[in-house]
Structure 1
């Protein structure tokens, strides 16, 4: 994720097959033990702000604060989302990795299966103030059910529908759509004079997954069954993917060029007034960095069939977010836990999530009035009432690659004028499912 998590070109099976050696540059200590390592940590932070330099500017003062409090120096590297998972998987096999790292929460079960990450059992949670400090849905997206989480929630996110108020007013539309039928109807009014209603990123595999997952929930489908077996070609999943592609292929409310868009290009179009709506996670800081004023845009829940978000077929977002993890064979387990405690403290949670426009997964920090702003209230309500976690299965990263690519190929069909039918969608998803079984 900027915010959108890019799927790795390295499959998880490579990491699973390898013997995990020392990461963080040292030999293993026990999972809850102490050590006498130098007071230095390396930290791979994910790119949360408008660019990497912005993240460095935001995080460096906080790392200095931690060093002053503990005497532990933190060496920071901000890693783009397009590279992060690939580098993490490489680190699990090479032993050349950081002590502490950010991971997309959708990767938690996949990385957990490698055995490389410190399990957050009761003892480790107690060292950072206790598991009950964190919102349940955020912890549920930190690893496979029934096992100690592989990471700790750091920033919570959800999808919202962002819309350009002036473009809506010019088209005679009073407010944001609550259903998909309304979105399509409004979209046809907005798609004119070289401007388009809705932005998409056909080349962004993870964004493809996030959108079709939520739509799949609305069609009563999951991409995996209870045993973890892929069910990509289920009728609800096929209908969800077709509905998404039809915004371009049939409804003509997404520009054909969006079929090739990569990360953040849809945000740029929105900020520049080239599109009227975009489905995105917390986006306020990005809009501001591109010259939009808060009064220029609004945020609303992502549409659902009934118009009222909720559970089951009214789910309108995956549970998005960033977790912070520790390689369990770091030389500095104690220091790493102290750093996680610092980053998830009430004070840091308020400061960092305010800055990034995300929601604190720490319940006490959510009480800060800053998180009652209208756009953040949409995200909070979505996380509390109408978001569902992506499948917490070891093959999740392969799922993002296989199905994300299938959707990308269907975008290309739509852009070129090739008919997109139920049969063609099912064929692409069947190919993706076969790739998972190889």
Structure 2
């Protein structure tokens, strides 16, 4: 496991570890934030199937901004595997972009460094006001009781994607709504080189997203009310075991998935090797891999029983991308203009439609592009049955350490080793012991 340099802000020390994706992809501008008041540097996250696809989406919009304001934006699309490390290096060196994308789950961790501009009421007023944004999206923009560290840019939630023909051929009449139904369907769909469900055992953040949701369903939060890690509660152990057991006991996830990294499970799904996958806003990736829209369907992520909702019926984390401004930018006015542009109603419709995400700007949702079945499921989930990951300074370490614990357990399952309550608790105990002391 690679460790990153610690960052101190007052009494808060943030030692961030390597992570994969957050909520869903260059050289850095080492010479400083920008060259003139008419230039901005922007680090965008990789939202499309590849970096070139992002450049194709963003280039005409950045040109439009330049025509409107005279400000040229120097774009770099940063892969998720590098993004957090690049951001943390920039917070320590003071040499980074003016504006950047961050995974919303990192908001509180990056907020604790003190490097990002806080979005107080005055700053929100410069982009049209706080009330333009969905409250659920703002809930993943920083620690509770503090001004957000960033503003929502793209919102997403998880859903269960399924191959219509594979389910029909296996005699599965409808997508599973509970985990028992998913296991039963998955067993019918597994065999002859195909698997019922896809997973990405080496994708640390995706591991966290899945076990966080299962944790909520088992009554666990992974942190106490005062922000201390609580990885070994009965609910947390049960959640991790239930997820890994989909491979270890239920055999509906192929053992090779233990080594899968970002988007590999989507490739198997698009090629008909896997019948179901839990993902966020996946339509554009399926299309890029040659899968037509009528081949797949979408349904809410299963719950233990009943229907999705709050409390133990939560079935997604609040996923998405936030947009931040480095506090030391030499062009604050230009940066604020750029954030205002990217979160405008018109740009939200264009960008979110291109990426298959949900606009976190409420007015932008009033567009037919966001009424298709997939986005209706994602939007309803975000509004009624999603919860934000813990907004605590050590959230990024949580993603890495517990995500790695889940990775290790998948590796054990893939190698035929037993995954027991005791082995799960041992991995989570080790993860908790490595968490920084507050």
Same fold by TM-score greater than 0.5: yes
CA contact (8 A) 2:7 2:92 kept: no
Q: Does 1:288 align with 2:287?
A: yes
CA contact (8 A) 1:12 1:397 kept: no
* CA-CA distance at 1:13 after TM superposition: 4.5
CA gap of 1:12–1:152, structure 2 versus 1, over 3 A, is: farther
* CA-CA distance at 1:77 after TM superposition: 0.2
Alignment of 1:337-348 (within 5 A): 337-348=336-347
Deviations 1:235-294 (A, max 9, x none): 000000000000000000000000000100000000000000000000000000000001
* CA-CA distance at 1:363 after TM superposition: 0.4
Residues paired across the two proteins, number:
421
CA contact (8 A) 1:8 1:86 kept: no
Q: Unmatched 5+ residue regions in structure 1?
A: 1-6, 28-35
Alignment of 1:161-200 (within 5 A): 161-200=160-199
Q: Does 1:25 align with 2:32?
A: yes
CA contact (8 A) 2:33 2:96 kept: no
Distance 1:163 1:186 in 2: 11
- Per the alignment, residue 360 of structure 1 pairs with 359
* CA-CA distance at 1:25 after TM superposition: 1.8
1:408 partner SS: helix
CA contact (8 A) 1:8 1:85 kept: no
Q: With the length of structure 1 as denominator, give the TM-score of the two structures.
A: 0.94
Q: Does 1:298 align with 2:305?
A: no
1:436 partner SS: coil
- Per the alignment, residue 321 of structure 1 pairs with 320
- Per the alignment, residue 383 of structure 2 pairs with 384
1:74 partner SS: strand
Q: With the length of structure 2 as denominator, give the TM-score of the two structures.
A: 0.94
Runs of 4 or more above 6 Å deviation: none
CA contact (8 A) 1:24 1:327 kept: no
Alignment of 1:103-122 (within 5 A): 103-122=102-121
1:211 partner SS: helix
- Per the alignment, residue 10 of structure 1 pairs with 4
CA contact (8 A) 1:155 1:358 kept: yes
CA contact (8 A) 2:37 2:334 kept: no
Distance 1:287 1:101 in 2: 27
Deviations 1:179-215 (A, max 9, x none): 0000000011000111000000000000000000000
CA contact (8 A) 1:242 1:420 kept: yes
- Per the alignment, residue 159 of structure 2 pairs with 160
Distance 1:387 1:437 in 2: 28
* CA-CA distance at 1:10 after TM superposition: 1.6
Deviations 1:368-401 (A, max 9, x none): 1111110000000000000000000000111011
CA gap of 1:437–1:68, structure 2 versus 1, over 3 A, is: closer
Distance 2:53 2:79 in 1: 12
CA contact (8 A) 1:241 1:407 kept: yes
- Per the alignment, residue 21 of structure 2 pairs with none
* CA-CA distance at 1:9 after TM superposition: 4.0
- Per the alignment, residue 415 of structure 2 pairs with 416
Alignment of 1:141-290 (within 5 A): 141-290=140-289
CA gap of 1:151–1:274, structure 2 versus 1, over 3 A, is: same
Distance 2:105 2:2 in 1: 13
1:98 partner SS: coil
- Per the alignment, residue 370 of structure 2 pairs with 371
Q: Unmatched 5+ residue regions in structure 2?
A: 15-28
CA gap of 1:144–1:12, structure 2 versus 1, over 3 A, is: farther
Q: How large is the Cα RMSD of the aligned pairs?
A: 1.7
CA contact (8 A) 1:202 1:208 kept: yes
